[in-house]
Amino acid sequence: MAGRLQDTVALVTGASSGIGAATARALAVEGAAVALLGRRRERLEELADELSAEARVAYVAEADITDQRQAAAAVEDVVSQLGRLDTVVNNAGTMGVGPVEDSPLDEWERMIEINVRGLLYVTHAAVPHLLRAAEDSPRKVADLVNISSTAGRVARPGTAVYNLTKFGVNGFTEALRQEVMRKRVRVSVVEPGTVDTELSSHLRAGAREAVERQVEGLELLRPEDIADAVAYIVTRDRRVAVNEILVRAAEQTW
């Protein structure tokens, strides 16, 4: 039985682990040819091999999306190799936490580079292809899904710049949605709560322990839970637009 995304192409950023890898798997199961975009080629190739062993189509697109030229070239490469682009999932992101007064500036810059600029660069390159896909695909619709966070809805002490980036993602998503919705390009945002991924492992000492204390005792979400939300959005009939999904761990209050 053909999947609901048969004969379409999906691009997932940050596909080497966590939510990105889980989302790539979910879209491949639905029949999409999946382009895996990220910086860790070895991890991307492992996932591509896994999907290929399951008779799925996967293409590795290694790039640093914080470099505008690399981001644009990666999108064009995917379209050249796979023929089209129907779905984009902007998942790549990073998190830094700690009080503003003693946070290192390079941590702030990294969040802005990946969470904001990288997302913008990929989106800018992808939108023309998504507009074309909405016109000529059998589904007559295309999708752009931005992975934000509960931090895009709730500001808390110690996450000011992360909040800034994710509030920005939410605002950008809504404005773009209104720009392209009549052309049947759906733009959606998914806001995960606490997910068991590598995200917190990249935190500096002290900050990592603070996050671990905050989530201690919680049953964390799994990457597959967020991938399910993305798959739900992009497999709806063209008459349906799911603009926003907030997914919290069951006991999470923020």
Q: What is the pLDDT of residues 90-125, one digit of tens each?
A: 999 999 999 999 899 999 999 999 999 999 999 999
Per-residue model confidence (pLDDT) at position 138:
87
Domain count, the chain: 1
How would you classify residue 217: left for phi > 0, otherwise alpha for psi between -120 and 50, otherwise beta?
A: left
Active site residue 59: no
Q: Work out the average pLDDT over 17-21.
A: 97
The answer to whether residue 254 sits within a structural domain is no
In a domain, 238, yes or no: yes
| pLDDT value of position 164 | 98
Q: Is residue 77 part of a domain?
A: yes
What pLDDT score was predicted for residue 208?
Answer: 62
Confirm if 65 and 75 have CB atoms less than 8 A apart. Answer: no
- Confidence (pLDDT) at 88: 98
- Only one residue has tokens 């997910």, namely 195
In a domain, 252, yes or no: no
Q: Would 25 be classed as within a structural domain?
A: yes
Establish if 1 belongs to a structural domain. no
Give yes or no for residue 185 having a pLDDT over 90: yes
Q: What local confidence, expressed as pLDDT, does residue 207 receive?
A: 61
Asked whether the beta carbons of 129 and 79 are under 8 A apart, the reply is: yes
Domain of 19, in residue numbers: 9-246
pLDDT grade for 2, boundaries at 50, 70 and 90: confident
Residue 210 pLDDT level (bands cut at 50, 70, 90): low
Would residue 3 count as lying in a domain?
A: no
| 227 within some domain | yes
What pTM was computed for the model? 0.94
With a cut of 80, say whether residue 203 has pLDDT above it.
Answer: no
Q: How would residue 197 be classed by pLDDT, with cut points 50, 70 and 90?
A: confident
Averaged pLDDT, 219-237: 97
CATH number at residue 15: 3.40.50.720
